[in-house]
């Protein structure tokens, strides 16, 4: 089950900002890097009216580092292309999968070998609902 939230439901996504970049090598004091706030709307959202947050349930995309409980940032204004990770509506249900688009063939690929690809046929009700632009997940 995917839970969908409009970006407009979340009006303030500002956090304190610690520099533009943090060195991944030699450590340095963080207080030297504190700047203004970082606005997650500006960082994660290109098209506010067409962007949604979706919470993932399940393990079919774990090899793409999309895990159960992750939050996906999804933009509905992006035209789908081969290889995109997309939120699709298939026969009334939502799913997140990698798009395989070639000529007249459409397949949805999981990123977990425990699951099989889904071939879309003329009998299926199918739309690409939006394209995943970011994944937000907790570390451990």
Is there a catalytic annotation at residue 60?
yes
Of the ranges 43-52, 54-63, 93-102, which one carries the lowest mean pLDDT score? 43-52
Which pLDDT score, from 0 to 100, does residue 24 have? 65
- Cut 0.85: pTM above it: no
For residue 15, is pLDDT > 50? no
Domain match, 95 and 110 both: yes
H helix intervals, the chain? 40-44
The Cα 49–Cα 76 span in angstroms is: 9
Structure-block tokens of residue 84: 């995109």
Average pLDDT in the chain? 82
Domain match, 60 and 111 both: yes
Whether 1 maps to a domain, the answer reads no
The Cα 82–Cα 16 span in angstroms is: 37
pLDDT tier, 36 (very low <50, low <70, confident <90, very high otherwise): low
Q: What residues form DSSP beta bridges with 134?
A: 73
pLDDT tier, 52 (very low <50, low <70, confident <90, very high otherwise): confident
86 with 128: CB under 8 angstroms? yes
Pick the catalytic residue: 60, 77, 79, 116? 60
Residue 95 belongs to what domain range? 48-136
The Cα 75–Cα 52 span in angstroms is: 7
Pick the catalytic residue: 97, 98, 104, 113? 97
């Amino acid at each position: 089950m995917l839970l969908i939230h409009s970006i407009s439901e979340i009006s303030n996504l500002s956090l304190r900002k610690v520099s533009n970049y943090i060195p991944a090598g030699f450590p340095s004091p963080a207080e030297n890097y504190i700047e203004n706030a970082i606005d997650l709307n500006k960082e994660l959202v290109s098209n506010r009216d067409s962007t949604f947050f979706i919470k993932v349930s399940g393990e079919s995309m774990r090899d793409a580092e999309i895990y159960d409980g992750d939050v996906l940032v999804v933009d509905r204004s992006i035209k789908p292309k081969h290889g995109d990770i997309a939120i699709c509506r298939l026969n009334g249900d939502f799913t997140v999968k990698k798009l395989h688009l070639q000529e007249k063939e459409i397949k949805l690929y999981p990123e977990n070998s425990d699951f099989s690809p889904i071939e879309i046929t003329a009998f299926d009700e199918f739309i690409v609902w939006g394209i995943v632009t970011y994944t937000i997940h907790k570390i451990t």
